[in-house]
Amino acid sequence: MTNDTLLNKIRQANPLVHSITNQVVANDVANSLLAIGASPMMAIAPEEMEEVTGFAEAIVLNIGTLTTEILEAMLIVGRAANQRGIPVILDPVGGGATQYRQEAVSILLKEVTVQLITGNAGEMAYLAGVDWSSKGVDAGTGMTSGKMIAERVAHRYQTVAAVSGKEDFVSDGQTTVGILNGDPMLTQVTGTGCMLSGICGAFLAVDKYDTLESTVKACTAYGVAAEMARDNQDVKGPGSFRVSLMDALYNLSEKNIHDKKNVKRYNANNSKEEDNE
């Protein structure tokens, strides 16, 4: 199923994506899901998690503004989703920044089977067990490539891993894909990574049987939308870019993705080939 077909399928099916997300940017996450064609739900009360899971088609767990009660809700909804075969996406925002977050991520990955872990290089480096210098939830810097981090996380947790950056990398431990679409302005607006994990949820909701390809398509579509937002002549800085990005997600078309996508597939011997047909 092509990028374009999945985008159309989201808009036709209007899948419900339940996001327990970063409360700093919950509004943007919800609106980005609406813009791409999905239906957002942002419930956080543990008491309603079982019921909510009954009509959700994807679950996104984002620990950006984590509390003990929110962690409880995540565990309830994650286990319920596993029982129902609903895809679960984990966004470990600032996962290595504090002991509390480290312990929470460890519990989630032990108790819930996740189909996708997505985050910036600093967050994912912690899960990969590699040295990295980061500040809070920022990506930071390190000597290990995003590609290697994605592959290590995928191997370690037997899942698909997506590492965002100048080049996004998505890996299932066997196949790794690099996506060069996007724009540096994404790093100047808080919550753009949280929006991406939500959009990954929308793509997995309509194609949960090939998590690697669904994630590649989600990251590509989001990157193309960011480029469209940047090209808007009214964009003067982060504020106008944020608004333009929402409009770009809404106006994104099959042709936009086909014409602009810049994707490379890495094979077993680490060579790469273009995948822009």
Residue 277 falls within a domain, yes or no? no
The predicted model gives 101-114 an average pLDDT of 96
Any residues with CB less than 8 A from the CB of 175 and at least 6 apart, and which?
212, 265, 266
Residue 143 falls within a domain, yes or no? yes
User: What is the number of domains present in the chain?
Assistant: 1
pLDDT at residue 130 above 90?
no
pLDDT at 140: 45
Closest CA to 40 of 54, 50, 24, 26: 26
Q: What is the DSSP string of 147-206?
A: HHHHHHHHHHHTSEEEEESSSEEEE-SS-EEEE----GGGGGSTTHHHHHHHHHHHHHHH
More confident residue, 144 or 269: 144
Residue 270 falls within a domain, yes or no? no
* pTM score, whole prediction: 0.92
Binding site listing for substrate: 42, 191
Closest CA to 57 of 40, 32, 34, 79: 40
pLDDT at 111: 98
pLDDT at 267: 72
CATH of the domain at 156: 3.40.1190.20
> Mean pLDDT for the chain?
92
Residue 275 falls within a domain, yes or no? no
Binding site listing: 42, 118, 164, 191
Q: What is the pLDDT of residues 19-77, one digit of tens each?
A: 999 999 999 999 999 999 999 999 999 999 999 999 999 999 999 999 999 999 999 99
Binding site listing for ATP: 118, 164
Q: What are the CA-CA distances from residue 196 to residues 45, 112, 199, 202 (Å)?
A: 23, 21, 5, 10
Is residue 217 within 8 Å of residue 6, measured between CB atoms? yes
Residue 215 falls within a domain, yes or no? yes
Taking the C-alpha atoms of residue 139 and residue 8, their distance in angstroms, rounded to an integer, is 32
Q: How many residues does the chain have?
A: 277
pLDDT at residue 141 above 80?
no
Taking the C-alpha atoms of residue 116 and residue 199, their distance in angstroms, rounded to an integer, is 12
Taking the C-alpha atoms of residue 242 and residue 228, their distance in angstroms, rounded to an integer, is 12
Residue 108 falls within a domain, yes or no? yes
Domain span at 219: 3-263
Residue 51: other Cβ atoms inside 10 A = 10
Residue 272 falls within a domain, yes or no? no
From 115-119, 121-125, 131-135, the region with the lowest mean pLDDT: 131-135
Residue 268 falls within a domain, yes or no? no
> Helix or strand or coil: residue 101?
helix
Q: What are the CA-CA distances from residue 67 to residues 75, 100, 134, 215, 275 (Å)?
A: 12, 9, 22, 28, 42
Q: Where are the beta strands (DSSP E) in the chain?
A: 16-20, 39-41, 58-62, 88-91, 116-120, 160-164, 168-171, 176-179, 263-266, 272-274
From 132-136, 149-153, 213-217, the region with the lowest mean pLDDT: 132-136
